[in-house]
Each structure stands twice: as structure tokens, then as C-alpha cells.
């Protein structure tokens, strides 16, 4: 019998304060983010000491936990700076530290006795004994390797202490290297993927060169665009949340700290609604079709279920370097007053356009914008300037932070 007394956590990615607000607004139970050092996403390491304190205060005000990524493999000169970094983060109120390196784990315990420790997916935990040993070393949670099947996760749950939390990825980009432990970027671009600087060479277009025919590039498949032999599809487990929860997963993690606030909003909202729907009606649950469609309204590669059901028959290779992008965010709603929605433009659209309105916790609905007004109250035919304020008549109250989007023609 499924025990739902312990509500599974929905964990969202945060790359800056705007994305933090989006994750909180659209239903995350917890967020993970990186500071200016020791995180695996150097490009989205925007939370310096002051902003980190502000972010944690904002999240805690809304009942959302904050996990700090300290999951790089630091070199000698970096490890010596770590205790001061950890002490400052602990003073800011971080709820847990996500670590990979066993030395970092030891330093967290020494610097902040009693701090909650999560073991990163970079560690590559694929069996119950490894999970158990990290528990004995002081881990509260292990983020399991992405290469595990559901049955392997069930076995780990059966053979580990019930208070050891299990976290898995449910959505987002997949790394072609085992648990993200990749050397390609360092070798090809002198950017260490294990220190947060990945150049993503797995997404590049590769062709074959025969050593006696320099300058002649042959496609590996019969395709003029070449071959993306290392490029993986994106993960999407939206339609299988029931099986993940039944397997004993504690936390459902969305990938994407480098993604936009629009991505964070839409994907978090969809998984929040789907998870709550399952928890309310677990028997014979089926993911509503509109939610499966919703996660396709962000920029994405073809979706797959990763390794959860073993090796997929169709494989996981994604055969081009681009994304599927069928919708654009056109505006954010700042506030609604007396039949008028006041917004900030993100992309151009025209008076008379039919848009979709996405509000937190709700199914999107169509809105036809008949008239547009600039900040001075003058009517205009379209939204012309990036990040400019505008308004339009809207009888229905709209929540601040809601999104207006349009299908790409």
C-alpha cells in the first residue's frame, strides 16, 4: 500500500533572483542554487554572499527550503578557501549543502556540525551499499545516479534506512557522461566540467575524418547536417510520477539552473499540479493530457524517460543541435487593478492577438488582447520596446507574476 504521509518534495532550479521568485511563485517546495564558487554551473553562479542571504530570506518567508550546491571537485588551492565559504553560507541560513567530494563532506561536518548534507548525483550512487555508507558518513539525502532503473531505485529504498532521503531527476537536460563526470570539455575547450565550467561539447556537430584524407569530412550517418552522436534527449517523467513516488523517492528534481525564468515557471507549475493531482487521487492516476502538453511549451529537445525503464528501444541520442521551441513568452503581469492588467513586455505582439495566460497553480487559458496602451495611457498597435511597461483591458483578475505567451508562427 502506498504511504503518502510523507509528501514528496518538488525541487526546482534557480539561477538568479528572478528565477527564484518564479520557482517560489509556481509551487516549488525547495530550490537549489549555486553561489559564486564550488557549484557545477559557473554560468549561473549569481548568488554572492549578500544576494544569497536575500534569497534565503525570501524563500523562507514563503516556506521554501534552499539547498546550496558545493558539488564541484575542488583542487588544493580551492579546498583551502572552503571553510570560510561554508561558514558564511551557514550563517546565511542554507538548509542543506549538496556535495560530491568526500573532503568537502568532511569540511561541512567540521565547519558546520549538524548541517544537512545531500550527496550529489555527480558521486554516481548506483547501489544500496554506497547509499548506506554515505548515510553513515552523515548524509541526510543521496541524489541517485541518473542511470538507474525504477527497479534499482526500489531496491535501494528497501535496503537503506527509512530516514535516508532519495532524490532523483524528473525533468531536463541529460548528460552523455556517467552521472555528469565528463572530461570532454576539459580536453577540448580547457574548461573543467567538474568545476562548473562545462562547454557542452556533447552538443556539438561531429563528422568523421580519415587520417589520409585531411580536410575531408564525412557524415557518420547519411545526413547532410552531420551527426550529433553524443547529444542526449531531454528527460521528462511527467507521466510517470506515480511510479517514482511508489518506488520510494523523497524528492523530485527539475534540472535547469541555466534555463530561463519562463522555463522554471512553466515546468515547476506543471509538475506541481501533476504531483498534487496524483497525491489527491493516487488510485489509477493518469497524468492529464494538458499537463503533458504544458512541458512542451518551453524550449526543449525531444523527451525521453532516460534509464528508468532500462535501455530505451529508440535510444537517447538526439540527432541535431537545436531545441524545439514552439511558444514565446511575450509579457509578465506586474499587477491587476480595476479591470486592467499592467505588464512588462518580453517579446513583441500586436493588438488583436490571442495569447495564453498562465497563472500559478492553474490551467492556461486564452486571452484576446483587443487594445494596448503604453505607460502614458496612449493606445498603440503593438508592444514595441523590450522590457517596456504596457497595459490592456482585462475583466478577469490576474495574479501578479502570471505569464502571457504566444505560439510561434
Q: Tell me the pLDDT tens digit for each residue of 103-158.
A: 999 999 999 999 999 999 989 999 999 999 999 999 999 999 988 999 999 999 99
Asked if 162 and 105 count as a contact pair (C-beta separation under 8 A), the reply is: no
Beta carbons within 8 Å of 283's beta carbon, 6+ residues apart: none
CA 75 to chain centre: 27
C-alpha cell belonging to residue 28: 516549488
The owner of cell 556539438 is 204
Residue (of 364, 388, 393) closest to 296 by Cα position: 364
Give the whole-angstrom CA distance, residue 301 versus residue 40.
Answer: 21
27-43 per-position pLDDT tens digit: 999 999 998 776 555 55
Give the whole-angstrom CA distance, residue 66 versus residue 22.
Answer: 14
Give the whole-angstrom CA distance, residue 354 versus residue 4.
Answer: 41
Task: Give how far Cα 320 sits from Cα of 226, 295, 306, 371, Å.
Answer: 8, 20, 18, 40
The owner of cell 552521472 is 179
DSSP 376: T
Beta carbons within 8 Å of 1's beta carbon, 6+ residues apart: none
Give the whole-angstrom CA distance, residue 65 versus residue 393.
Answer: 37
Cα dihedral 372, 374, 379, 385 sign: negative
61-87 per-position pLDDT tens digit: 999 999 999 988 888 988 999 999 999
Rounded (10°) CA dihedral 85, 91, 96, 101: 20
Stretch (H or E) spanning 265: helix 261-280
Stretch (H or E) spanning 216: none
Question: Which structural domains are found in the chain, ordered by start?
Answer: 9-177+232-304 (3.20.20.70), 327-407 (2.40.30.10)
Q: What are the start-end ranges of the H helices in 170-260?
A: 184-189, 241-246
Residue-level pLDDT at 73: 86
Asked if 15 and 54 count as a contact pair (C-beta separation under 8 A), the reply is: no
Give the whole-angstrom CA distance, residue 276 versus residue 322.
Answer: 33
Residue-level pLDDT at 45: 58
Asked if 58 and 20 count as a contact pair (C-beta separation under 8 A), the reply is: yes
158-173 per-position pLDDT tens digit: 999 999 999 999 998 7
CA 303 to chain centre: 14
Phi, psi of 10 (to 5 degrees): -105, 120
Rounded average pLDDT over 181-196? 58
Give the whole-angstrom CA distance, residue 12 versus residue 256.
Answer: 8
Distance spanning both ends of the chain, measured CA to CA: 48
321-375 per-position pLDDT tens digit: 567 888 999 999 999 999 999 999 999 999 999 999 999 999 999 999 999 999 9
Strand arrangement, sheet containing 403-407 = 365-368, 354-358, 403-407, 327-337, 340-345, 389-393, 372-373, 379-380
Give the whole-angstrom CA distance, residue 300 versus residue 323.
Answer: 5
Asked if 351 and 381 count as a contact pair (C-beta separation under 8 A), the reply is: yes
In the chain, the percentage of residues whose pLDDT exceeds 90 is 68
C-alpha cell belonging to residue 367: 486571452
Mean pLDDT of the chain: 87
Query: 1 pLDDT exceeds 50?
Result: no
Residue (of 253, 196, 252, 272) closest to 27 by Cα position: 272
**pTM assigned to the model:** 0.85
Rg (the chain; Cα; Å): 23
Half-sphere exposure of 260 (CA within 13 A, CB side): 11
Amino acid at each position: 500500500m502506498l504511504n503518502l504521509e510523507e509528501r514528496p518534495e518538488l525541487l526546482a532550479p534557480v539561477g538568479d533572483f528572478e528565477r527564484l521568485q518564479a520557482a517560489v511563485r509556481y509551487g516549488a517546495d525547495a530550490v537549489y542554487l549555486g553561489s559564486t564558487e564550488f557549484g557545477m554551473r559557473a554560468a549561473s553562479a549569481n548568488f554572492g554572499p549578500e544576494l544569497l542571504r536575500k534569497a534565503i530570506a525570501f524563500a523562507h518567508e514563503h516556506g521554501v527550503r534552499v539547498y546550496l550546491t558545493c558539488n564541484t571537485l575542488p583542487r588544493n588551492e580551492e579546498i583551502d578557501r572552503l571553510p570560510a565559504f561554508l561558514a558564511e553560507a551557514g550563517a546565511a541560513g542554507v538548509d542543506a549543502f549538496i556535495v560530491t567530494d568526500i573532503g568537502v563532506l568532511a569540511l561541512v561536518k567540521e565547519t558546520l556540525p549538524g548541517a544537512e548534507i545531500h550527496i550529489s548525483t555527480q558521486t554516481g550512487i548506483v547501489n544500496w551499499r554506497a547509499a548506506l555508507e554515505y548515510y553513515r558518513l552523515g548524509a541526510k539525502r543521496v541524489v541517485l545516479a541518473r542511470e538507474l532503473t525504477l527497479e534499482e531505485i526500489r531496491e535501494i529504498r528497501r535496503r537503506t534506512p527509512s530516514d535516508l532521503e532519495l532524490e532523483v531527476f524528473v525533468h531536463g537536460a541529460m548528460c552523455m557522461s556517467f552521472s555528469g563526470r565528463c572530461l570532454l570539455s576539459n580536453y577540448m575547450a580547457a574548461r573543467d566540467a567538474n568545476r562548473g565550467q562545462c562547454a557542452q561539447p556533447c552538443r556539438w556537430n561531429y563528422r568523421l575524418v580519415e587520417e589520409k584524407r585531411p580536410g575531408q569530412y564525412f557524415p557518420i550517418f547519411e545526413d547532410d547536417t552531420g551527426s550529433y552522436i553524443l547529444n542526449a534527449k531531454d528527460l521528462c517523467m511527467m507521466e510517470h510520477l506515480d511510479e517514482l513516488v511508489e518506488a520510494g523517492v523523497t524528492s523530485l528534481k527539475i534540472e535547469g539552473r541555466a534555463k530561463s525564468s519562463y522555463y522554471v515557471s512553466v515546468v515547476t507549475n506543471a509538475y506541481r499540479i501533476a504531483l498534487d493531482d496524483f497525491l489527491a487521487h493516487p488510485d489509477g492516476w493518469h497524468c492529464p493530457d494538458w499537463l503533458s502538453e504544458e512541458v512542451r511549451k518551453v524550449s526543449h529537445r525531444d523527451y525521453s524517460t532516460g534509464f528508468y525503464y532500462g535501455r530505451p528501444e529508440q535510444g537517447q541520442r538526439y540527432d541535431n543541435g537545436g531545441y524545439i521551441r514552439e511558444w514565446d513568452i511575450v509579457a509578465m503581469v506586474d499587477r491587476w487593478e480595476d479591470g486592467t492588467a499592467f505588464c512588462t513586455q518580453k517579446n513583441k505582439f500586436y493588438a488583436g492577438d490571442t495569447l495564453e495566460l498562465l497563472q500559478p497553480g492553474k490551467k492556461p487559458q486564452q486571452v484576446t488582447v483587443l487594445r494596448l496602451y503604453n505607460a502614458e495611457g496612449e493606445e498603440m498597435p503593438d508592444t514595441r520596446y523590450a522590457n517596456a511597461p504596457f497595459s490592456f483591458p482585462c475583466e478577469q483578475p490576474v495574479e501578479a507574476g502570471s505569464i502571457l505567451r504566444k505560439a510561434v508562427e
